[in-house]
Amino acid sequence: MILLLLIPLFPLAAALILLLPGNLFRDKAGIISSSFTLISLILIILLYSTSGKIDMIWFSTAGLNLTFSLMIGGLEWLASLITAGIGLAITIFSIKFIDERRQYFFRVFSFFIGSMLTLVLSDSFILTFISWEFVGLSSFLLIGFWFKEQDAKEASRKAFLMTRIGDFGFLLALLLILVSFGSTDISSFLNSLTGQHNLSPVLLSFLFLMAAIGKSAQLPFTSWLPDAMAGPAPVSALIHSATMAAAGVFLLLRLFPLFQASEITLTWITWIGGITALTAAFTASTRYDIKRILAWSTISQLGEMFFVVGLGGALAAAFHLTVHAVFKAGLFLTAGVIGHSAGTKDIRKLGNLRRYLPYTSAAFILCGLALSGFPPFGGFWSEEEIMSETLKHGAAYSSFMLVLIFLAGVYISRAWSAVFADWKGNSNIQADKPGMMIIYPMLSLGFLAVISGFLLKLNIESLLPFPSFPSIGWGWRSASIAASVSGLTYGTLRVLKSGPVPSFGSVFSYLTNVVDAFVILPVKIVRFASEMVNSFEGILDSAVKTVSATVLVLAKADDGAEMVFDRTAKSLSSFIIKSADSVDSCEVTGISHWTDKFAFSFSAAGKGLSKIQTGKIFVYTLIVFSWIIIIAFIAGSFFVFR
Amino acid sequence: MLTINIFFPLFTGLIILLFPKDKGKAVRITALAGTLITLILSAIILAGYDVSKGGMQWITDVPWIPSINAGYTIGVDGLSLSVILLTDVLMLMVMLYVVDKRDRAKEHAFLFLLMQTGLLGLFSSSDLLLFYLFFEIGLVPMYFIIGIFGSERRKYAAMKFFLYTRAGSLAMLISFLSLYLSVDPHTFSLQRIIQAEPFAGSVQTGGFVMLGMLIGFGVKLPTFPLHNWLPDAHVEAPTEGSVILAGIQLKMGAYGILRVMIPALPMAVSHYNFWLILLGIFSMVYAALAALAQKDLKRLIAYTSINHMGYVMTAAGIWGLTQSESIKQLALNGAAYQIISHGLLTGGMFFIAGMLQHKAGTRDMDKFGGLLGVIPIFSTLLGILAFASLGLPGFSGFIAEFQVIGASVGENIWAAICIIAGLILMTALYLKIIVNMLFGKPPDDMPAVSELNNRNSFIVGMLICISLFLGILPGYLTGLIQSGTKLLTGIL
């Protein structure tokens, strides 16, 4: 099982090697990064259909042992396969695609993949949480890769902050489990859900749901993901497919027994997922930036997975997660090529790129068809699984799925036609041809998008520990095909006829304003509270000053006070030296002396620094000071004489 | 041996006083060597400390003022040892930082060394009168450091610092005296006071005694509403003064709570646990909000200190709230870990803020932008410190915070949620530092900045490395701390 340990360690080791200073590996960085990920991928493939576990104690505090453990089973194997496989394709793509600060890029990229592998293989809540945070950190660093740009700056901040709010749900749940259950082991916790510990599955599942919503950009934590495309295209590809955004759905699947124990949470998951999926799909049909269209599509697809998990269809969600990872990574890479070769990602300025970028167009078509659920491409199979799950709950749910399939067809065909087809009035933009190192990873993802659905269909039921379900009848199957085909046709025709306008009118572009309100309001409240506190601090400050000023006036009122203070201070301090054995007098001296000091200091305030050193205050403080030192000496002499 | 360790800095300081005035360089090197030797001495004491046995070791107990039963009683356990080492490390870094400063080098070095003796003595003493004495020796030099070496409004800040802390320590002394009088025979020995369980019968009297300590330690911690001196003191203090002020002086309050208040008055702490928790979490949220509004980097970090030290107060409250031995210990472990972690990280933050001010002449955050493209090493270090301070796993802060939150989550989930709300604000705050200062394009009127020199990078890098080590392998320090906190809970 040592192999299991090595899987996440290889990419992390690559990150560590690339941490070496300077630009030692500037040109080799991508090679190092991809070969280490390749080793991980080979190890994962070797571990097919094995199961095992490694346990380590990290440290213990107050009798609680915090363990680090890794385990592999069907779900973990599938998730790590996606991470390493897609990660590898994207890393190879980046070797030629990224042309600045390469060592930095590949260092963080390897760290990202390593963290995600740890996350999916971990069998300890604390280790999952740590890698969960590391995934967030790597996203922050990569989204902010072009840190000089304003949008990268704001996007990285938003991504980290919004996802971290959700993360704290995870932290609370993890700590509750730690202190009540005494361990952070995931498997043993899931095995004893009904055991003797007074933990409410409702509370725990809601806390974990918070974390999943944050990472998977479901409502109301949606807006960071579309903004996150400010990073380079390979970064978006990784975040949207196999790592950051996928982590939320993965968490739902990993802790599925816990969610099953709480009906109400499942209902919430369904509703959140459903509303998000619909909103995001409509929004996608109104955007003009190709990467933004894809980003909203991701949110919609993840919403679909939430929707079906809530209905109890963990198997369908896992299926769709896998297939989605493949085609979405492919789509983002093509978007990167489009932006890079044509110089813009705005679909209004693009058009007829087929001539210059035939392979890119082909990859886009393959992945796009997989997205739209067109048979026999990947999405068709996974969406069929989703349909068969929804059917158990009623035709309304399945009809909702048909709407989503139709919308996916519309927005993806709109994107393709606007970029690659010769629509009326397009600007006939020119583009440079990308190199082979860029085309191969893209095309292979396109190829995988075609076959992955069918391949998985054969294996997934035996691979994953979730219940399977009967296949849907031909009626629903043909309905879903019809939805997909009509969506594709509508989207294409509309672009060919009237250009890349929003598919259903621009009304839907205002949906995001509603979404943004969820963000802006709390931010405003916090700003307001912060200003309030700050002005209160000012009031506190002036109150202190007023009190001091009053004391100063009182002190000055009595001209003789200084003299009296003077004398008492001197006599008392000499008294102390003589009688250190009477602590009560220490006390009296202390108080009266310092009252003296109080008065003095204020009468001296406002004068120059030199006064402090030569003036009375200095002398006085020195007296007290020597008083303290003398007591210390007495202590010392006692010590010596014994 | 422990006595030598405590007084060695003072000894170095006295030697320095004998130096002629123009030997600035010699003064600096002697001071640096002195702090280095002190660190080695403390390390030897640590090596001789038997963790598996735990409890107080290296004990020296001789009568000091026999007529009032005050003894020169010193000893260390895991808790005090870790704070002592923190003190030594930060002092060493301070001496390294100022090694090329020639302005009034003698006074400067002497004051810091004297303060170190006070701090080491405080963290070693097991006698309340001795504790009070060292508390004062630790405080007074800071007044001069702010007053002499500070910036424009130094006099105001020094005075404010002084008055607040004086008032605080007097309240503390009164509480100590009532503890002294409540035990028969009267004694200042902390151990005997703890065994006698003073005020066990009268919670209210105990509450008043606790209030005195709460004021004394609360001023130093600091906690709302006694925190008003802190932002001014930090802003006006010289860099090295801020580092020690935030890194160690605030810990005097935290240490006092753990070492004296909880063991001596367990009944009162249990009875008033709600107020302690409320005080702790309110300070945390309040300070985080106040920090968000700041533009001055040093002032901002000063407020974050109040947030971070709120964990200690909250942990004390949770200690009183819970019945479970294990949760009690978890809370104290977290509080103690926070003491160490905050010392390293905020110390580093103040170093870096000072370095920036030294180069650019201002700390106004709005004046900076895009530093990552201009001075990458500085920016990377600042970025790492900020992420470490917002509680990213892998750094010591996370270990501390999750223990305190973990202790509270099972007892009172609302307390935990309030702490988390503070943490979210802190995340926003540190992101603001990172994103606004390091990302983007430099504004046109940005002051000229230059890259850190090797010595300064080493200082900050060293603090980061220690924090990273304590974050990745927390086992040793938690074991060490636990050998002390076990004693605190075990007695009761």
**Per-residue model confidence as pLDDT tens digits over A202-232:** 888 999 999 999 999 888 888 888 888 888 9
Q: A175, A598, A627: best mutation site toward chain B, by most B Cβ within 10 Å? A: A175
Nearest CB to B409: which of A172, A529, A582? Answer: A172
User: How close A258 gets to chain B, by Cα (Å)?
Assistant: 19
CB contact under 8 A, B133 and A160: no
Nearest CB to B420: which of A172, A594, A631? Answer: A172
The CA-atom distances, in angstroms, between A273 and each of A25, A201, A310, A576 are: 44, 20, 8, 76
Sign of the alpha-carbon dihedral angle for B85, B88, B94, B96 = negative
The verdict on A492 touching B (C-beta cutoff 8 Å) is no
Q: What band does A584 get if pLDDT is binned at 50, 70 and 90?
A: very low
The verdict on A581 touching B (C-beta cutoff 8 Å) is yes
Tell me the helix, strand and coil percentages in chain A, rounded to 5. Answer: 75, 5, 20
Look at the block and give the residue holding tokens 């200073």. A21
CB contact under 8 A, B478 and A153: no
The verdict on B403 touching A (C-beta cutoff 8 Å) is yes
By the 8 A CB rule, do B337 and A62 touch? no
**Per-residue model confidence as pLDDT tens digits over A302-340:** 999 999 999 888 888 999 999 999 999 999 999 988 888
The verdict on A540 touching B (C-beta cutoff 8 Å) is yes
By the 8 A CB rule, do B422 and B310 touch? yes
The verdict on A134 touching B (C-beta cutoff 8 Å) is yes
**Which position has the higher pLDDT, A624 or A199?**
A199
User: How close A528 gets to chain B, by Cα (Å)?
Assistant: 9
Give alpha helix (H) positions in A29-73.
29-46
The CA-based dihedral angle spanning residues B165, B169, B170, B176, taken in that order and rounded to the nearest 10 degrees: 170
Q: What is the pLDDT of residue A612?
A: 39
Q: What band does A610 get if pLDDT is binned at 50, 70 and 90?
A: very low
Q: What band does A604 get if pLDDT is binned at 50, 70 and 90?
A: very low
The verdict on B65 touching A (C-beta cutoff 8 Å) is yes
User: How close A162 gets to chain B, by Cα (Å)?
Assistant: 10
Q: What is the pLDDT of residue A641?
A: 46
Q: What band does A564 get if pLDDT is binned at 50, 70 and 90?
A: low
The whole-number average pLDDT for the span A484-500 is: 85
Q: How many CB pairs under 8 A join A and B?
A: 189
CB contact under 8 A, B293 and A583: no
B-chain residues near A61 (CB < 8 A): 329-330, 333, 403, 474, 478, 482
φ, ψ of residue A185 to 5 degrees: the values are -75, 125
**Per-residue model confidence as pLDDT tens digits over A516-548:** 777 788 888 888 888 888 888 888 888 877 877
A-chain residues near B290 (CB < 8 A): 530, 533-534, 537
**Per-residue model confidence as pLDDT tens digits over A75-102:** 899 999 999 999 999 999 998 888 888 8
Q: What is the pLDDT of residue A423?
A: 77
Neighbouring CB atoms inside 10 A of A604's CB total 16
Q: What is the pLDDT of residue A511?
A: 75
What average pLDDT does chain A have? 81
Q: What band does A603 get if pLDDT is binned at 50, 70 and 90?
A: very low
In chain B, the percentage of residues whose pLDDT exceeds 90 is: 34
Q: What is the pLDDT of residue B122?
A: 92
Residue A138 pLDDT exceeds 50: yes
Q: What band does A121 get if pLDDT is binned at 50, 70 and 90?
A: very high
Residue of B nearest to A583 (CA): B68
By the 8 A CB rule, do A97 and A340 touch? yes
Nearest CB to B333: which of A61, A601, A613? Answer: A61
Look at the block and give the residue holding tokens 């790597």. A138
φ, ψ of residue A533 to 5 degrees: the values are -60, -40
Q: What is the pLDDT of residue B254?
A: 92
CA pair distance A152, A144, nearest whole angstrom: 5
The verdict on B133 touching A (C-beta cutoff 8 Å) is yes
Question: Which candidate, A592, A596, A595, places its Cα nearest to that of A575?
Answer: A592
* Interface list for A 142-161 with B (CB within 8 A): 144, 147-148, 150, 152-154, 156-157, 160-161
Token output for B39:
């660190």
User: How close B404 gets to chain A, by Cα (Å)?
Assistant: 10
Cβ neighbours of residue B29 under 8 Å, at least 6 residues apart?
Answer: B99
A-chain residues near B155 (CB < 8 A): 605-606, 609, 612
The verdict on B469 touching A (C-beta cutoff 8 Å) is no
Q: What band does A557 get if pLDDT is binned at 50, 70 and 90?
A: low
Q: What is the pLDDT of residue B336?
A: 92
* Interface list for A 35-74 with B (CB within 8 A): 58-64
**Omega before residue A441 within 30° of 0, cis:** no
B-chain residues near A160 (CB < 8 A): 427, 431
Cβ neighbours of residue A315 under 8 Å, at least 6 residues apart?
Answer: A385, A389, A460, A461, A464, A466, A467, A468, A469
Q: Which residues pair with A289 in a beta bridge?
A: A346
Residue A618 pLDDT exceeds 60: no
The whole-number average pLDDT for the span A610-614 is: 39
Residue of A nearest to B143 (CA): A621
* Interface list for B 334-363 with A (CB within 8 A): none
A-chain residues near B180 (CB < 8 A): 583
The whole-number average pLDDT for the span A436-464 is: 86
By the 8 A CB rule, do B118 and B86 touch? no
Nearest CB to A537: which of B290, B394, B402? Answer: B290
User: How close A86 gets to chain B, by Cα (Å)?
Assistant: 26
Q: What is the pLDDT of residue A571?
A: 58
By the 8 A CB rule, do B316 and B469 touch? no
By the 8 A CB rule, do A187 and A123 touch? yes
CB contact under 8 A, B292 and A639: no
Give alpha helix (H) positions in B245-296.
250-256, 262-264, 266-271, 273-292
Look at the block and give the residue holding tokens 């994103």. B435
Token output for B204:
């209210």
Question: Which candidate, B196, B10, B17, places its Cα nearest to that of B117?
Answer: B10
User: How close B420 gets to chain A, by Cα (Å)?
Assistant: 7
User: How close A541 gets to chain B, by Cα (Å)?
Assistant: 7
Q: Which residues pair with B65 in a beta bridge?
A: B70
Question: Which candidate, A212, A172, A208, A526, places its Cα nearest to that of B415?
Answer: A172
Q: B106, B128, B439: best mutation site toward chain A, by most A Cβ within 10 Å? A: B439
Q: What is the pLDDT of residue A613?
A: 39
Residues of chain B predicted below pLDDT 70: 486-492
Q: Which residues pair with B60 in a beta bridge?
A: B74
CA pair distance A493, A484, nearest whole angstrom: 14
In this prediction the ipTM stands at: 0.91
The verdict on B379 touching A (C-beta cutoff 8 Å) is no
**Per-residue model confidence as pLDDT tens digits over A30-52:** 888 899 999 999 999 998 888 88
CB contact under 8 A, A628 and B133: yes
The verdict on A630 touching B (C-beta cutoff 8 Å) is no
The verdict on A580 touching B (C-beta cutoff 8 Å) is yes
Neighbouring CB atoms inside 10 A of A358's CB total 13
CA pair distance B387, B463, nearest whole angstrom: 14
Q: What is the pLDDT of residue A615?
A: 43
Cβ neighbours of residue B204 under 8 Å, at least 6 residues apart?
Answer: none
Q: Which residues pair with A72 in a beta bridge?
A: A52
DSSP structural state of residue B435? I
- The H or E element containing residue B64 is strand B57-65
Token output for A518:
């969820």
CB contact under 8 A, B410 and A179: yes
Question: Which candidate, A189, A180, A52, A87, places its Cα nearest to that of A128?
Answer: A189
The whole-number average pLDDT for the span A241-248 is: 88
A-chain residues near B406 (CB < 8 A): 175, 178-179
The verdict on B19 touching A (C-beta cutoff 8 Å) is no
Residue B196: Cβ-neighbour burial (10 angstroms; 0-12, 13-18, 19+): middle
Neighbouring CB atoms inside 10 A of A1's CB total 14
Of A121-130, A324-333, A371-380, minimum mean pLDDT range: A371-380
Q: What is the pLDDT of residue A23?
A: 64
Q: What is the pLDDT of residue B491?
A: 43
DSSP structural state of residue B258? I
Sign of the alpha-carbon dihedral angle for A480, A314, A130, A330 = negative
Token output for B490:
């075990």
